[in-house]
């Protein structure tokens, strides 16, 4: 057997066993050449052979992908039960213990909420920061305090426009990261004791915000592929005086679900019928793997009821703490709340990102970032297939950098967290994603760091621990 035929058979086995699932990118020619120790021409010959077999196909300027008819070995995680009651939130101690676990740089950061800083153009951003700081008009520190740097707001509005959504700049407010935007949105439409509809599972920062503001959560189940259960949400809206709905409509954290456009439109219409505002947490919007960005629910908003929150922390500038909200009818109220709390986001940071968006090649960076994340997802899925029990259920999102794993029923993810940490591996256990601390046998894994030998060994160790339960 020739070398390219052997390599093609190895890739074919990964596809047949489902380690490489339908629609997933196969390793790039360069990556495969370096990783498997074969020449680029050998990889090309192997991929041409796999194309002829109908297992993969090429996309122009994007690489090779598994054909959509290929089987996947992983079942989807189950949809959680709909709990028909409100819950006071008290998860912070548990969350803080997880956050503490990723501070040690020697720990494998599968439990982190961020991708690796090594994936971002930090040196180019630093040049933008130096340039923008030198040229910044000192009067801007006062005049642009809120709603924020006009050049940055203009660049954000342009990105909305390219995506087919025309927004007036008056609706945009720059914040200290998306988390402040989400906090301000909730404060604008709720009072302590009010009920908020949230996803189940939900990002733990959402739970902490509700806890701090003394709001009660009503959990709505999330499907691992297409998002929040609209029927369960409709029942909740009929039964309870819901004051707001907080939802991640694309690449939901932790499950990775993305609502189809028709479902996003139905979500907006359902909430409009009850005059309940939607707080759309869309911080992963730029991290899609396909050819086109998913539309936000904000695109279907006709009454200003959707507050769309975004950030550059996950796609460009971690640590700069620059986010925004397109606040609809609540823009003025949120701006005043911002002035009453933190006044403004960092002026130099805003100016730096505005400069980078205009001159730094943001879209070129995003293409590289998406490609890296998709390859890292494939590597983690392959490792799960090798090391974890066959009953493991895994989400397979089309963007972002998280996988949600439903492990065998006897697994206790809180014990798993402690056992893994003792081996230098951080994970995010399922209970931190629920105010009722459900999802005991689930974990979230972050594949946002370049895949290396340490990551592979960590997955082998983690799989061995899971099998010990």
Strands 63-66 and 402-406: unpaired
Confidence of residue 108 (pLDDT cuts 50, 70, 90): very high
The distance of Cα 444 from the centroid of its chain, to the nearest Å, equals 12
Determine the Cα–Cα distance for residues 86 and 284; give it in Å rounded to an integer. 28
Determine the pLDDT at residue 98: 76
**Residue 36: which pLDDT band, with cuts at 50, 70 and 90?**
confident
Q: Report yes or no: 131 and 322 within 8 Å, Cβ to Cβ.
A: no
The pair of structure tokens assigned to 28 is 């790039």
6 pLDDT band (50/70/90 cuts)? Answer: confident
Contacting residues for 143 by C-beta, under 8 A, at least 6 apart: none
Alpha helices by DSSP H, 275-361:
331-341, 347-359
Among the ranges given (134-138, 172-176, 177-181, 437-441), the one the predictor scored with the smallest mean pLDDT: 134-138
Q: Which of 41-45, 71-75, 205-209, 458-462 has the lowest mean pLDDT?
A: 71-75
The pLDDT assigned to 1 comes to 64
Q: With bands split at pLDDT 50, 70 and 90, how would you rate the model's confidence at 143? A: low
Q: Dump pLDDT digits (tens) for 348-407.
A: 999 999 999 998 889 999 988 998 888 788 788 888 988 999 899 999 898 999 999 999
**Between these two residues, 227 and 289, which has the higher pLDDT value?**
227
In this predicted structure, what is the pLDDT of residue 321?
A: 93
The two counts, helices (H) then strands (E), for the chain are: 16, 17
Indicate the DSSP class of residue 238: H
CA distance 170 to 148: 11
48's CB contacts (< 8 A; 6+ apart) are none
Under a CB-based contact definition with an 8 Å cutoff, are residues 74 and 392 in contact?
yes
The confidence score (pLDDT) of residue 289 equals 81
| pLDDT tens-place string over residues 312-346 | 999 999 889 999 999 999 999 999 999 998 888 88
Task: Report residue 208 as tokens.
Answer: 């902490």
% pLDDT > 90, the chain: 61
d(C-alpha 219, C-alpha 237), whole Å: 12
What would the pLDDT profile of 177-192 be if each residue is shown by its tens digit? 999 999 999 999 999 9
Q: Say what percent of the chain tops pLDDT 70.
A: 95
pTM for this model (two decimals): 0.85
Answer whether 51's CB lies under 8 Å from 369's CB: no
Give helix 92-100 / helix 204-212 axis angle, nearest 10°.
130
Burial annotation 295-333 (CB, 10 A radius, 16+ → b, else e): bbbbbbbeeebbbbbbbbbbbbbbebbbbbbbbbebbee
- Name, in order, each residue with C-beta under 8 angstroms of 225's C-beta and a sequence gap of 6 or more: 76, 257, 258, 395
| pLDDT single digits (tens) 47-62 | 888 877 677 888 877 7
- Angle of CA points 448, 453, 459, to nearest 5°: 65
Residue 441, pLDDT above cutoff 90: yes
Three-class DSSP category at 78: coil
Which residues partner with 425 through β-bridges?
108
Q: pLDDT tens for residues 278-311?
A: 999 999 999 998 778 999 999 999 999 999 999 9
Inform me whether the pLDDT recorded for 201 exceeds 60: yes
Q: What is the pLDDT of residue 70?
A: 52
């Amino acid at each position: 057997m020739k070398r390219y035929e052997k390599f093609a058979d190895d890739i074919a086995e990964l596809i047949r066993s489902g380690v490489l699932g339908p629609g997933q990118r196969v390793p790039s020619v360069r990556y495969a050449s370096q990783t498997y120790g074969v020449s680029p021409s050998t990889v090309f010959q192997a991929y041409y052979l796999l194309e002829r077999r109908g297992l993969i196909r090429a996309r122009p300027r994007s690489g090779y992908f598994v054909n959509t008819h290929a089987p996947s070995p992983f079942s989807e995680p189950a949809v959680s039960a709909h709990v028909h009651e409100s819950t006071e939130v008290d998860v912070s101690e548990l969350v803080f213990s997880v956050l503490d676990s990723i501070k040690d740089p020697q720990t494998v950061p599968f439990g982190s909420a961020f991708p690796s800083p090594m994936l971002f153009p930090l040196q180019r951003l630093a040049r933008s920061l130096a340039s923008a700081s030198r040229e910044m008009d000192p009067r801007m520190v006062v005049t642009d305090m809120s709603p924020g740097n006009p050049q940055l707001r203009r660049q954000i509005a342009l990105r909305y426009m390219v995506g087919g959504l025309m927004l007036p700049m008056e609706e945009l407010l720059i914040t200290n990261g998306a988390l402040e935007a989400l906090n301000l949105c909730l404060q604008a439409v709720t009072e302590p004791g009010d009920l908020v509809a949230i996803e189940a599972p939900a990002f733990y920062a959402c739970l902490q915000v509700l806890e701090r503001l003394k709001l009660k959560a009503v959990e709505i189940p999330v499907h691992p592929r297409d998002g929040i259960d609209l029927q369960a949400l409709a029942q909740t809206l009929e039964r309870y005086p819901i004051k707001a709905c907080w939802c991640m409509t694309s690449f939901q954290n932790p499950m990775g679900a993305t609502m189809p456009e028709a479902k996003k439109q139905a979500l907006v219409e359902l909430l409009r019928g009850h005059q309940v505002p939607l707080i759309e947490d869309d911080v992963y919007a730029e991290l899609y793997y396909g050819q086109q960005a998913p539309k936000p629910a904000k695109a279907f908003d006709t009454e200003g009821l959707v507050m769309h929150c975004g950030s550059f922390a996950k796609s460009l500038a971690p640590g700069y703490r620059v986010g925004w909200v397109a606040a609809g009818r609540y823009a003025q109220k949120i701006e005043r709340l911002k002035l009453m709390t933190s006044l403004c986001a960092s002026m130099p940071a805003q100016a730096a990102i505005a400069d980078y968006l205009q001159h730094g090649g943001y879209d070129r960076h995003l293409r590289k970032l998406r490609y890296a994340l998709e390859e890292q997802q494939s590597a983690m899925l392959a490792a799960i297939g090798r090391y974890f029990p066959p009953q493991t259920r895994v989400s397979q999102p089309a963007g972002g950098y998280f996988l949600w794993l439903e492990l065998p029923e006897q697994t206790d993810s809180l014990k798993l967290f402690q056992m893994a940490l003792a081996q230098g591996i951080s994970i995010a256990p399922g209970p931190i994603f629920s105010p009722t601390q459900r999802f005991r046998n689930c974990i979230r894994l972050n594949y946002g760091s370049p895949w290396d030998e340490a990551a592979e060994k960590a997955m082998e160790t983690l799989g061995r621990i899971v099998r010990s339960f």
